[in-house]
Amino acid sequence: MKAASAPVATRSFDLMALALAAVLALHAPHLPWWLTASLAPLLALRWWLRRRHQGRVPAWLKLPLLAALLLAIVIWYGNIFGQAPGAALAVGLLVLKLLETESARDARVGMSFACFTLMAALLFDQSMVTTAAVALGLLPPLAALRSLEPGRRVPARFWRELLPGAGLLVAALPLALAAFLLVPRLDSPLWGGASNTDQRTGLSDRMTPADYTHLLVDDSPAMRVSFDGAPPARGLRYFRAYVMGYYDGYSWTRYRRSPRPPAPLEAAAGIRYHISLEPTSQHMLPTLDVPLAAPADATLLHDRVLLAAKPVNRLTDYTLASATHYTLEPQLADSPARWLQLPAGFNPRALALGQQWHERYGNHPMAIVRAALDLFHDGGFRYTLSPAPLGRNAMDDFLFDTHDGFCEHYSSAFTVLMRAAGIPARVVTGYQGGYWNAMGRYLLVRNSDAHAWSEVWIAGRGWVRVDPTAAVRPQRINEGAAAAVPGQLPWYQAGWLQSVRNHWDIVNRWWNQSVNGFNALRQRGLLQPFGIRKIDTATLTTLLAAACVLSMLAGLAWVWRRRAGDDPVRAALRVIERKLAHVGVVRAKGEGPRDFLQRAADALPTQHETLVKLMHLYLELRYANTEPAAESLRALRRATREFRGRRMIK
């Protein structure tokens, strides 16, 4: 039977199943839940059945499964082309491939494609943990490919199958590092699109109360901010993202207008800082409070919102200056009616309360603001991430019935009350707070720090920030988002765990800056420490070729040294020769090892069986494998050590 069509051994099949389990686990975070829930039991069932009897799954079952996979992906994604549907299709086809894998040829094809699919996981997430997981995930398919070598002795322990692959990965690190540093970088990916079509979008330019719940429980980093001087106080750490003025009774959205110059700003001084923003797939660039000017490749809108020229599809760094004490637009450029707009037929009780305040306090807008804040502080309101559902008159339900909500509810209700009282107002969304990492000297802002507040326009003072959430739950502003909701996940909010997570982020920041942030610009300045100000593509190619040649020479030197050294198989044969010489069986000049050992076995009948076993073991290690297995070498050494030549008594 040909080696390519020989049936796959049980150990090899186990390694293949483990490899596909690693593929499925690495892609599970971005696969549809139903696909993972379907493929995992199918993989486990195929492995369980294969351990009981060999045989392919019949075609009448495979073909419907293949058709169902294609149909489900088309229905879910709309097509089979693109990063996310392509990954889902690849993982599904790999698992289905295992249903028909019974020959070495099929196994090699499947494991080669499994290695490619594992690497494709880096298109979705390039974090250090994912990169390490992909490297470890390569061990099972490499072990499976190695187990398919003919004549190979199977190790007694399963985990020993993974050791040679680990050695190969370690040996490949120097060349991989050279390729990382010297392969010419492109300014955009080869596939010409976002690095992750399912990327977390975070904040959006539309806000509906209860929309941000998924963000407020998401502890992944949103951005990291470093300051030229001391960081601003906790109460000043407001990062502006979107300004929303249009309200339809349900949601707040931005006004769409032709570009206008930024609103006038009077500020004594600004804070200079640097932001490293995680991918969002949006144009929005968060800024500390009110930015003074726009950085390169960005536009500062009239409401001092900063938009990038291109969507943020990868880690993005920008530097700018902002004011935390200022007067923004002291003379309102738009008609006040624009910022007093309220839809007809919604929230009659909230409108009536605002009108009462207007009649009571007249032209004293700050008195109306204080009345609203007192209402939130003393009116039995509660900060919670699990508010009761709201009806058509959402703000009426919240203000007069449920009293439960988080920042979106409070900023939306406050803005409605201000407009009803005749005060121009708008909603601002972004981030507030963050953890100051003293060791790394940067502010870590997580998605759970997403926040919404209000701005009211006061004649002569311009737009003034008012955060009604602070009136209900001041801990949200003074102690951060983790302290805003008491009693929720106390173990997760433990001080020691928070400290470990925040210090671990220093490592993640280094990875983002040194690895993910290693772009074409940084590559061109790679040799600046050696006095070379800038290198071009030709120089990079030359250096890469030199690194490859050095790696090849190092590999050849290692092989030469190993061959020049004492071959363990030949050494074992010499030991046997010495022991046989003591009993009068001497190897003749030019006599091959097979003939010699066979002659010795015939000359020593009492040890015939032992010498024949030694002969077969030696021949297998010498000629049946390109690389003797460690377990087989140990068996040969043990048998050689235990062999004792005994003279025949005549």
Asked if 57 and 151 touch (Cβ cutoff 8 Å), the reply is no
Residues 401 and 263 both lie in one domain: yes
Which tens digits make up the pLDDT trace of 90-111?
A: 999 999 998 888 888 889 999 9
Burial of 576 (0-12, 13-18, 19+ CB in 10 A): buried
pLDDT of residue 197: 39
Rounded to whole angstroms, how far apart are CA atoms 312 and 590?
73
User: Do the domain assignments include residue 198?
Assistant: no
Nearest of 112, 115, 102, 1 to residue 46 by alpha carbon: 102
| Residue 472 within any structural domain of the chain | yes
Same domain, yes or no: 480 and 431: yes
Domain presence at residue 11: yes
Q: How many domains does the chain have?
A: 4
What is the DSSP code string of 70-99? HHHHHHHHSSS-SHHHHHHHHHHHHHHHHH
> In order along the chain (650 residues), what is the average pLDDT of each group of 10 residues?
64 92 92 92 90 78 88 89 89 90 89 92 86 92 87 73 86 84 65 42 79 68 92 93 93 83 88 92 93 92 93 90 93 89 94 95 92 94 87 93 91 96 95 87 89 94 94 82 59 65 79 75 69 73 84 79 67 84 85 86 85 84 72 80 68
**What is the pTM (predicted TM-score) of this model?**
0.67
Residues annotated catalytic, as ranges: 407, 451, 467
Single-letter code of the amino acid located at 214: H
Distance CA(635)–CA(208), nearest Å, equals: 71
Instruction: From 528, 546, 564, give the residue that closes a domain.
Output: 564
Report yes or no on 271 lying in a domain. Answer: yes
DSSP structural state of residue 408: H
Q: Contact at 8 Å (CB) between 11 and 161? A: yes
> pLDDT tens digits, residue range 503-540?
788 888 788 777 777 767 677 776 667 666 777 777 77
> Amino acid identity of 117?
T
Residues 344 and 465 in one domain: yes
Residues 395 and 464 in one domain: yes
Residue at 174 is within a domain = yes
Q: Are residues 342 and 460 in the same domain?
A: yes
Does residue 426 share a domain with residue 296? Answer: yes
Query: Contact at 8 Å (CB) between 216 and 572?
Result: no
State the pLDDT at residue 649. 47
Query: Same structural domain for residues 333 and 384?
Result: yes
Please indicate, yes or no, if residue 190 is contained in any of the structural domains: no
Confidence at residue 198, expressed as pLDDT on a 0 to 100 scale:
40
Q: Which pLDDT score is estimated for 551?
A: 82
Same domain, 124 and 14: yes
Same-domain check for residues 68 and 176: no
Q: Are residues 330 and 344 in the same domain?
A: yes
3-state secondary structure of 608: helix
Residue 648 in any domain: the answer is: no
Residues 277 and 376 reside in one and the same domain: yes
618 and 538, same domain (yes or no): no
Burial class, 563, CB count within 10 angstroms (exposed 0-12 / middle 13-18 / buried 19+): exposed
Is residue 487 one of the residues assigned to a domain?
A: yes
> For residue 482, what are the domain limits?
206-496
